[in-house]
Structure formats: structure tokens, C-alpha cells
Amino acid sequence: MKAVIFGCAGVQLTAEERAFFEDVQPWGFILFARNCESPAQIRALTEELRATIKRKDAPILIDQEGGRVARLKPPFWRARPPMDRFGALYEISPQKGKEAAFLGSRLMAEDLGRLGINVNCVPILDVPHEGAHDIIGDRALAKSAGDIAVLGGAVMAGSIAGGALPIIKHIPGHGRALADSHLELPIVDADLDHLRAVDFAPFKALNQAPMAMTAHVVYSAIDKTAPATVSGKLITQIIRGEIGFDGLLMSDDLSMKALQGSFAERSEAVLKAGCDMLLHCNGDMVEMQEIAGAAIALEGKAARRAEAALALLADRNQADFDQERQEAHYARLLEPVFPELTVSL
């Protein structure tokens, strides 16, 4: 098994993809909107993906945050609020804000489970900053690091209860970035004291998370040239050291323009820096072949972290869950900050 997660090109696998995945044996897969046509189609695709690698528990990821980052949308799936609505409700009532964050992520996880998806790339723990690029924006759970940590914990718990492993992102914090790392390399020049007090704080508070995704961001106070994803100094001293995260650490998407070099060079740099897992999302076969050539076997600490993450799903709450009743309760909770939700029920 290789320490890599791949996407695929369409709504079903091609013969070339099936042969490639069978040969490479990636740890898991990730789905995007291009892969999501209908519930029956997605269920068939997730079954096909797992069949190619002969692992029924293989992780299949998706970004289903709500708001503008949602791969599953109406008419087949309910519109979900952006994550900042939890923070807005938390300001009115901390109890209701936490309950909504837990329940909202549980409801999304229930949706995913019916499709065979068992990992959701939430919660975002990035702390938003005025004047920063809006790539984070309303995806942030709240305005302050403390509130984000509380609500992020609720999102994690709800997701696990619903059967979807959470991934905290973008460690150690994308909220100050003045650029979108999908398109260019952001450089954050804040001093280390400010980063520790604000940006790193939610990640440190939730360092027990099973998985985390790195930020393709340069933090010049720590490493003047290399973004976190490929900075051994930052991963060792900050993510594993000061933040204390010891779960499975994966790169953000290798095809993002913030990274440089060939795909083999990017993969090698990510692994050398200390990431456990490569992530490549766009389903481009030529790129995947190059990455597969550089990927390493999933073994040692990385394998143990991966096993520990998947083990959380075995312990999920199996109690009866009345989704329609909980959807109605969720809509009532969010009515003060997201009245649109009642329309979609």
C-alpha cells in the first residue's frame, strides 16, 4: 500500500484507472464535484474504487464543508450553511452554537455514509484576518482562535459520531494569507509570537485530531522560503513540536500552484519534510503516474497513525438516529443566523 490519496477523472472509473489503482494500491481516494452525479452513481463509484484495491475500509475523502465548498448540492442533497454561521450563533448562544456545529457535521456525515464516503475534510481551523485573501472567508468557523477551537472540537465530534473521519486544516493556519494557494504561493510575515497566540492556537487545542492537512503557505518567521507542506523545519518544530499534533499528516493537493517542481519532486519534498501522506486531487493520469513513482510504502509511524485514524470509525455511535427529526431541529437552531436552511428542508 502506498502513502498516497488520488482522485479520479469522472463519474465512473476508466479501464486505465482501474488498472492503475490496482497496481499502485493507494491508501485512499478523494471525490470532487466532477465525480458526483447522483446518489446511486456515487455509491457505485465508491464501491468500485474500493474493489480495485480490495479494501472495504479504504478511506474515501470529500470536501463537504457547507456554503461555497460543497461537492454535494441540491437537488439530491440539502444546502448546508457556511461554517461561519456556527460562530455567529455561538456569539448569541454558546450552547446552541456548539450544538449546531456538532449536529451539522453529524448530519453531513450521515449523508456521506450513505454514499460510501467515510472521511470529510473538515473542520477548517484557520483564523480569519482582516485584509487577508477571501479563500478562507466564511469557511472559518468563527472570528477568534478560542471560538474556533471550541466549535472545531464540536465539528470533529459530530463528524466521527456520524461515521466520517475529520481532517483539521490547513495546519498551521491559512487565515493570514494574502493569496490563494491554489493559484500562487502565499507568504505570511507575522512574527512567531503572533502566530503562536492566534493562528497556531486552534490546532494546538485540537492536536488530538486523527488527521490534518498542511497549508501551502510560507511562514517567514520559521522558514523564509519553503511552504509548510515541504518545510521539514516547520513540520518538526511547529506542527509536531509546539502544536503537538501526532496524527496522520497529509499534504494539501500536490497540483496546487503554490508548489514548484515536477510532481515527482513535489512528492519527494513532501515526504522528506515529514508528511505521512501525499494528496493529489485532479485525477490527471500523467500526474498520478509520476507521483506514484515517487510515493513510498505506508509503513512505520505513518501506518500506525493511519490505522489509529480508521479505528475511530469502528467506535462510532451506532444508536438510532432520526435524520429527518434532527434536520428539523438543526434548522430551528440555525434560524437566527441562517433562515435559508428552512427553505431547503
Residues with catalytic function: 182, 252
| One-character DSSP codes across 109-123 | HHHHHTTT--EE---
What are the φ/ψ torsions at residue 64 (nearest 5 degrees)? -120, 75
Q: In the numeric block, which cell numbers belong to residue 72?
A: 454535494
Residues 276 and 229: beta-carbon distance below 8 Å: no
Q: Distance between CA atoms of 194 and 214, rounded to whole angstroms?
A: 19
C-alpha distance across the termini of the chain, in Å: 42
| One-character DSSP codes across 291-326 | HHHH--B--HHHHHHHHHHHHHHHTS--S---HHHH
Half-sphere exposure of 170 (CA within 13 A, CB side): 26
Can you point out the beta strands (E) in the chain? 2-6, 26-31, 60-62, 64-66, 69-70, 119-120, 165-166, 168-171, 187-188, 211-214, 218-219, 248-250, 278-280
Q: Distance between CA atoms of 101 and 86, rounded to whole angstroms?
A: 6
Residues 7 and 280: beta-carbon distance below 8 Å: yes
Write down the residue that cell numbers 456556527 correspond to: 86
Write down the residue that cell numbers 503554490 correspond to: 258
If one counts every other C-beta atom within 10 angstroms of the C-beta of residue 344, the result is 14
